[in-house]
Amino acid sequence: MCTYQTERVAVSGSGKGASGWFPLTTATIYLDHPVDAPASHTLNVDFINPERGPSARVAVELDPESARSLAEAILLTLETTGAEIG
């Protein structure tokens, strides 16, 4: 089920690609056919820094159950640790 619905989020962090670490500025999230993951559809997240060109990208393809589990774990960790991030 490809909806072509894409969400873009400004992010601040670092990603590690083939050339080493680089600053991240954007995350793009969409549901589509995967390139590599063994599933018919995946939630795809591309962490990128467009100013650094196409090699400044970390791509993730997750099956829907894994994507939900990851989202819940992220929220739980942020809510229960009381950590102030900023």
Q: How far apart are CA 8 and CA 39, in angstroms?
A: 23
Residue 34 is predicted with a pLDDT of 87
pLDDT of residue 85: 60
Q: What is the pLDDT of residue 22?
A: 96
Between 66 and 83, whose confidence is greater?
66
Tell me the C-alpha to C-alpha distance, in Å, between residue 8 and each of 4, 11, 18, 44.
13, 9, 23, 12
| pLDDT digits 0-9 by tens, 49-71 | 999 999 999 999 999 999 999 99
The DSSP call for residue 40 is S
- CB-count exposure of residue 42 (10 Å: 0-12, 13-18, 19+): buried
Entry pTM? 0.82
Q: pLDDT band at residue 24, thresholds of 50, 70 and 90?
A: very high
